[in-house]
């Protein structure tokens, strides 16, 4: 048998066998994709042993945080097959053997996709979402699905009828934000190597900021949303949430591409790169022109957040940036108005018809009839069943970011102002206030800057850690760029991350 396998495979089997008998467990704390792949190549451990260690950690620490909705019962089997593949080919796929946390509104074959709702608590998709197929093809292992704000309604907190409330691992009395709070808390707690969230207005960047993570809201059109339970499809994106810019970039790199089932991705044709990791430049801030959007950063800002943000500006300057302060968008206050449209009813009913195909769950009225344990979700469902128009006093019809006159005007004003000053990006705190306490989340929901620009203009906006306030509560800084300027943003946020190293893991207490 060993002759057929070859010398390399024989040595790998020997090393794996030896490793499996080691008493010392793998230290999965803050592991990156590169470190894991180096360990595979060196025979330090296998994907199987890595997955087992993550599952062990979830079981040991998550009951107090409540971030994971289900552990994939097939994760270990998948890992074994990937280990066998590596033994036979001596080749690692881009995400080979990497355990990933998936938000519970993204279709995963053979695993529940509930959106946190009772109406879908037994729904198991027949096929993966487009992006999940891409991740699986790249070798990723779905280790778990994560809790979320029910139907993705809440930017404030993460509460579902299927799993309950998720807590912030840095301080359990506080929210992890929403709606991708489960993914954020799980990745921050090292329950998976990296995670996937969705963002309608806040839901990647807010939870990432609250959990000392990197979160990428990419250009609207860069990544397919096919097979994802929508909130407002005209704004929805799916994107990476990770502990490092490099890991988030590796995930982004795999997911881009035109998908005929999501028409908006046709706009990305000819604007994407096969290799986004080439833009990971530690010196990426040297000579970069960065605008400070004071109209957001000074809006009822918490003093501790302001202090962190001002320090971030100093750091950007010391890392070689040219700071343009303030950066002003003419007529910004007026342009930002009347951008939201309520299209949940239309979008969710299209999802139910396409994927769920259940005669008893066809309409939003069916969802309301089945019910919810969350008062917040119930109120939003009732509101969404009645609203079909643009919010505010404008009467125009609602379109996507490439056709809606209001959205286009907002974007063009920002990019024109950036062009006039030759800016590479603009910055502001991801949130102007600290995370809210769970028991007072509606009253203390303050300072969310994520809802204002990117979801409407379609521009990419990346958040990275910028430090901690009292109570061990993380804060983030956001970099916003031009359409399809992911390469520029990757360069800038990687350089800032590497120059400041604000990320630190939470101190968890075992509950079992």
pLDDT over 90 (residue 404): yes
What angle, rounded to 10 degrees, do the helices at 303-318 and 486-500 form?
Answer: 100
What letter would DSSP give residue 95? Answer: T
Q: Is residue 512 domain-resident? A: no
What local confidence, expressed as pLDDT, does residue 279 receive? 98
Q: Is residue 197 domain-resident? A: yes
Q: Is residue 510 domain-resident? A: no
pLDDT over 80 (residue 2): no
Q: Is residue 49 domain-resident? A: yes
Beta strands in 72-175 (DSSP E): 99-103, 141-146, 159-160, 164-165
What local confidence, expressed as pLDDT, does residue 321 receive? 98
Q: What is the pTM of this model?
A: 0.94
Contact between 241 and 192 under an 8 Å Cβ cutoff? The reply is no
Q: Is residue 506 domain-resident? A: no
pLDDT over 60 (residue 164): yes
Q: Which residues contact 418 (CB under 8 A, 6 or more apart)?
A: 291, 327, 426, 482
Nearest to 130 by CA among 206, 194, 55, 196: 196
Model confidence at 512, in pLDDT bands (50, 70, 90)? low
Each residue's pLDDT tens digit, 130-157: 999 999 999 999 999 999 999 999 999 9
Separation CA 213–CA 36 (nearest Å):
19
| SS3 assignment, position 15 | helix
Residue 169 sits in a domain whose CATH number is: 3.90.1300.10
Strands 99-103 and 141-146: parallel
Separation CA 253–CA 216 (nearest Å):
12
Each residue's pLDDT tens digit, 186-197: 999 999 999 999
Q: Please classify residue 362 by burial: count the beta carbons closer than 10 Å to its beta carbon, then call 0-12 exposed, 13-18 middle and 19+ buried.
A: middle
Structure tokens at 121: 């608590």
Separation CA 459–CA 205 (nearest Å):
13
| SS3 assignment, position 174 | strand
Each residue's pLDDT tens digit, 171-214: 999 999 999 999 999 999 999 999 999 999 999 999 999 999 99
Percent of the chain at pLDDT exceeding 90: 92
Longest dimension (CA), the chain: 76
Average pLDDT over residues 276-289: 98
Nearest to 241 by CA among 198, 202, 178: 198
Q: How many CA atoms lie within 13 A of 418 on its CB side?
A: 24
Asked whether the CA dihedral 169, 476, 236, 197 is positive or negative, the reply is negative
Separation CA 335–CA 103 (nearest Å):
32
Q: Is residue 54 domain-resident? A: yes
- Residue 182 domain boundaries: 2-500
| Mean pLDDT, rounded, of the chain | 94
Phi, psi of 253 (to 5 degrees): -55, -35
Nearest to 200 by CA among 23, 71, 384: 384
Percent of the chain at pLDDT exceeding 70: 95
pLDDT over 90 (residue 342): no
Q: Is residue 152 domain-resident? A: yes
The residues that are catalytic are 103, 179, 203
* Helix (DSSP H) and strand (DSSP E) numbers for the chain: 18, 13
Contact between 67 and 210 under an 8 Å Cβ cutoff? The reply is no
What local confidence, expressed as pLDDT, does residue 393 receive? 75
Please count the structural domains in the chain: 1
Q: Which residues contact 186 (CB under 8 A, 6 or more apart)?
A: 58, 62, 65, 67, 68, 101, 144, 146, 192, 195
Contact between 162 and 153 under an 8 Å Cβ cutoff? The reply is no
Q: Is residue 375 domain-resident? A: yes
Contact between 41 and 92 under an 8 Å Cβ cutoff? The reply is yes
Separation CA 492–CA 282 (nearest Å):
9
Contact between 58 and 50 under an 8 Å Cβ cutoff? The reply is no
């Amino acid at each position: 048998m060993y002759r057929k396998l070859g010398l390399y495979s024989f040595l790998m089997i020997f090393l794996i066998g030896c490793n499996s008998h080691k008493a010392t467990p793998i230290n999965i704390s803050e592991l990156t994709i590169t470190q894991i792949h180096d360990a595979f190549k060196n025979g330090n451990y296998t994907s199987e042993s890595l997955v087992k260690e993550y599952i062990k950690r979830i079981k040991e620490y998550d009951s107090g945080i409540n971030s994971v909705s289900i552990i994939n019962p097939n994760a270990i089997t998948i890992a074994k097959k990937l280990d066998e593949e590596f033994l036979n080919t001596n080749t690692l796929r881009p995400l080979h053997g990497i355990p990933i946390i998936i938000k519970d509104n993204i279709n995963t074959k053979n695993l529940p996709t509930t959106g946190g709702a009772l109406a879908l608590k037994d729904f198991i998709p027949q096929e993966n979402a487009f992006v999940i197929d891409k991740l699986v093809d790249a070798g990723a292992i779905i280790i778990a699905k994560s809790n979320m704000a029910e139907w993705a309604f809440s930017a404030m907190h993460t509460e579902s009828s299927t799993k309950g409330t998720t807590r912030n691992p840095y301080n359990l009395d506080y929210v992890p934000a929403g709606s991708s709070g489960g993914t954020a808390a799980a990745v921050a707690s090292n329950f998976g190597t990296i995670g996937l969230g969705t963002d309608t207005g806040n839901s990647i960047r807010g939870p990432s900021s609250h959990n000392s993570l990197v979160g990428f809201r990419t250009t609207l059109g860069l990544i397919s949303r096919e097979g994802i339970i929508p909130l407002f499809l005209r704004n929805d994106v799916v994107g990476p949430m990770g502990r490092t810019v490099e890991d988030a970039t590796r995930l982004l790199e795999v997911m881009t591409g035109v998908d005929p089932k999501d028409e908006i991705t046709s706009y990305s044709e000819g604007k994407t790169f096969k290799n986004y990791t080439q833009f990971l430049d530690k010196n990426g801030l040297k000579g970069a022109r960065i605008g400070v959007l004071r109209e957001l950063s000074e809006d009822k800002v918490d003093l501790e957040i302001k202090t962190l943000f001002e320090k971030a500006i100093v750091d950007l300057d010391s890392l070689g940036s040219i700071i343009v302060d303030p950066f002003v968008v003419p007529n910004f206050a007026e342009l930002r108005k009347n951008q939201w449209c309520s299209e949940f009813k239309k979008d969710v009913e299209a999802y139910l018809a396409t994927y769920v195909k259940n005669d008893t769950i066809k309409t939003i009225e069916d969802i309301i009839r089945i019910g919810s344990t969350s008062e917040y979700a119930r109120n939003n469902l009732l509101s969404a069943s009645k609203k079909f128009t643009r919010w505010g006093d404008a009467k125009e019809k609602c379109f996507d970011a490439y056709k809606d006159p209001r959205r286009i005007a907002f974007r063009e004003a920002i990019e024109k102002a950036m062009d006039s000053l030759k800016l590479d990006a603009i910055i502001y705190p991801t949130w102007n206030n600290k995370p809210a306490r769970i028991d007072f989340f509606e009253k203390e929901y303050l300072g969310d800057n994520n809802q204002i620009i990117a979801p409407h203009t379609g521009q990419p906006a990346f958040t990275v850690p910028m430090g901690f306030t009292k109570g061990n509560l993380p804060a983030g800084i956001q970099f916003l760029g031009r359409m399809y300027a992911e390469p520029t943003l990757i360069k800038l946020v990687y350089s800032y991350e590497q120059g400041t190293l604000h990320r630190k893991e939470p101190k968890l207490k075992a509950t079992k």
